[in-house]
Amino acid sequence: MSSNSSSIVFDDIFTISAIDKEGKKFDRVSRLFAHSKNYDMDLTLDYNIELYPLNADDSFAMTLASSLHKGPSTGGANGTGGEEDDKDRDVWRPDGKGISGLEEEYDYVMYGKVYRFDSGTAEIVTAYASFGGLLMSLTGSFRHMANVVLGDPIYILLLSPSKLSERRYDLTVRDLNLNLRQEALRYRVPSPDA
């Protein structure tokens, strides 16, 4: 899912079960209801339909990140200059240095804050976030949301259904190449000079 050295706190692939099942409230905003098979999570998300059109039964990749920086998440509390950390963390700002962040790999990005965390049962929790009034609730095992922290700012990044198959293919090819390299290393005979 995510590692300690990454700014990604959650990622999974969701399939939309319904859109606006409680009725449409706004012209440009819809509410989707989706479920993931990998981590058995339920997602409710408000999104702008003009910027990111989706249909029922579409699949999309969703990532939650503490920053858009591709490397380890940094903060001013680590002893370095907080201003420099802010520059690195806010990679979306056009600074002319050519720094690109996670936003380059996704189609739809929103910035918000985790404002509530409910525990339904001992195992199941729900995290609530607001992205400028567009709401999200993510429900599932607490193990998969251990890095989602109440009160923290968060980015949500979505990858469209058309690019999802390309991403799956890239990951499959990358995994296959890695496995082939590992097999080659395992059966490599050391040279007599070594």
Distances (CA, A) of 24 to 28, 31, 80, 168: 10, 8, 48, 32
**From CA 158, how far away is CA 153, in angstroms rounded?**
17
pLDDT in tens, 41-100: 999 999 998 898 888 888 999 999 998 877 655 543 333 444 444 454 455 555 555 567
Is the pLDDT at 17 greater than 70? The verdict is yes
| CATH code assigned to 8-162 | 2.40.50.140
Q: Please give the share of the chain, as a percent, with pLDDT higher than 70.
A: 65
- Residue 154: pLDDT band by 50, 70, 90 thresholds? very high
Higher-scoring residue by pLDDT: 30, 104: 30
Tokens of 71: 């490397």
162 in helix, strand or coil?
helix
pLDDT at residue 79, as a whole number: 39
Q: Which of 7-21, 95-109, 157-171 has the lowest mean pLDDT?
A: 157-171
Q: Check pLDDT > 50 for residue 152.
A: yes
Q: 108 pLDDT band (50/70/90 cuts)?
A: confident
Question: Which comes out higher in pLDDT, residue 166 or 28?
Answer: 28
Question: Considering the entire predicted model, what is its pTM?
Answer: 0.70
Contacts 24+ apart (CB under 8 A), 47-53: 47/108, 47/134, 47/158, 48/134, 51/108, 52/107, 52/108, 52/158, 52/160
Task: Report residue 21 as tokens.
Answer: 């099942």
Interatomic CA distance for residues 35 and 54, integer angstroms: 15
pLDDT-derived band at 122 (thresholds 50, 70, 90) equals confident
* Among candidate residues 169, 10, 8, 178, the one with its CA nearest the CA of residue 186: 178
Contacts for 91-97: CB closer than 8 Å, 24+ residues apart: 91/67, 92/68
